[in-house]
Amino acid sequence: MLIKTKIVATLGPASREREAIIALAEAGVDVFRLNFSHGSIEEHARTLKNVRAASRAIKRPLAVMADLCGPKIRVGRVAGGAVVLAPGSELVIQRDPIEGTAQRISTTLPELIDKAKKGERLSMDDGRIRLEVVRARPPKQIVCRVLVGGHLKSSKGVNLPETDLSDLVPALTEKDRRDVEWIVGQDIDYVALSFVQQAREIDELRKILEAGGSTAQIVAKIEKPQALKNIEAIVEATDAVLVARGDMGVEMDLPEVPVVQKRLVALCQRLGKCCIVATQMFESMIENASPTRAEVSDVANAVFEGADAAMLSGETAVGKYPVEAVKMMNAVCARVEHYLSDEHEDCVQHSELELAGTAEAMIKAVHHIVHTDRIKAVVVFTVAGTTARLLGKMRLEVPILALTPSRRVMQQACLFYGVHAEQTKKPKHTRDVLRMAGPRVRALNWAKKGDKIVVLAGRPLGTPGGLNTLVVHSV
């Protein structure tokens, strides 16, 4: 059974070796995330090599997403890796770097000392730890009172939702630029840009990637309220969106998070862009072998809303049960998809997709044909992957096979809902696509001899945006 909702898994100490990656992929992972907020270039290079080795071993494409650190403010190094902050205690945040203690720490943005004011609130570790500035003493330090305590680890995030830092934190930092210099020379399919606020930040990253010869697509991470003011332009400029609920839940009121999530998923559906829902999906499985009932419902709700993918973070990067987390997420996605296709197809939000032009009209025609005829699968020959992605957004009842001459597009299609991609030689004629389509869908056990499939291609073949041929073909 093809699970149409894709799974993104973050790699880390618990999962970055080849055999662990194979186990995760066999459990259902489609896209592996390299978190550039942690680890060195050398570590990421080894992990990337392991992903590609795993892909060859299981004979299945796997996509890799490089997630840039962005202007994330982080706690500096902490003695022993973690300290305990007690509620009611005072914590000094100083400008100069130090090895942190329970009384004094530094951060990766020393200039915040100049901006934070008395009475403003801070949070750390995705809001788990909360503080209030009680004395501001620029340029050396600020003194905070711990409102909600806990274990504070090295490199955990720091948020200042009430402090204006707009002139200090560009979306693409110097570290990001150095990382992108390395990324453009690697076999990486997606680059995620953190803390996006404007479409021009997407455009800037795209120019850098293209100048370096990279065809990696861009994932805009939405986590700041400022992004919502420009959200349509951002979604139009990007290739995919990641609903980053961790910082979002710290930067804005918690009751707003599910509303923003639903809004973003719907907008991506309307504009034909992939949408990933992330953060704390199965957070409890970092320590426990089973998720909570609420977490299961959270993942299910993301699928019901129309998300193309769900992402695991700490669950697979540092958790005790990475494979079990993937298997559970796969099972939840499968159950919801079965529910939607079995009796409740009317729940699927395919009708919201805004399309125009010949190619787009044909994609809508495919939806109509699949629903009115006994079609077993859709096969599309694609050069850039756009048609395959848009077909996925139509939420067809049947699986989609994307045939492409591009290994990059084959790997990028791992993020497309309901799409299985295979690399093939570029055919000379549309009839060659028809000859390839039947045996491929039979090999996948999607159809048998005599079944009908829909085949899409363009004339001349291989012209991006040239989709103009639709054939109902008997296998």
Tell me the catalytic residues: 33, 74, 221, 279
d(CA 337, CA 246): 26
Q: What is the DSSP letter of 107?
A: B
Q: What is the DSSP letter of 97?
A: -
Give 275's contacts (C-beta < 8 A, 6+ positions apart).
Answer: 240, 241, 242, 243, 264, 265, 268, 269, 306, 307, 308, 309
452 with 374: CB under 8 angstroms? Answer: yes
212 with 186: CB under 8 angstroms? Answer: no
Q: 244: part of which helix (H) or strand (E)?
A: strand 240-244
**Tokens found for residue 7:** 């799974």
Beta strands in 294-446 (DSSP E): 309-312, 375-381, 400-404, 419-423
DSSP strand pairing (141-148 vs 150-153): unpaired
Q: Which long-range contacts (CB under 8 A, 24 or more apart) does 386-389 make?
A: 386/464, 386/465, 387/359, 387/363, 387/456, 387/467, 388/413, 388/416, 388/419, 388/421, 389/272, 389/274, 389/413, 389/416, 389/419
List the one residue out of 63, 51, 14, 5 whose CA is nearest residue 310.
Answer: 5
Beta strands in 12-156 (DSSP E): 31-35, 63-67, 73-74, 82-85, 90-94, 104-106, 121-124, 129-137, 141-148, 150-153
d(CA 369, CA 383): 24
List the one residue out of 157, 82, 67, 153 whose CA is nearest residue 112.
Answer: 157
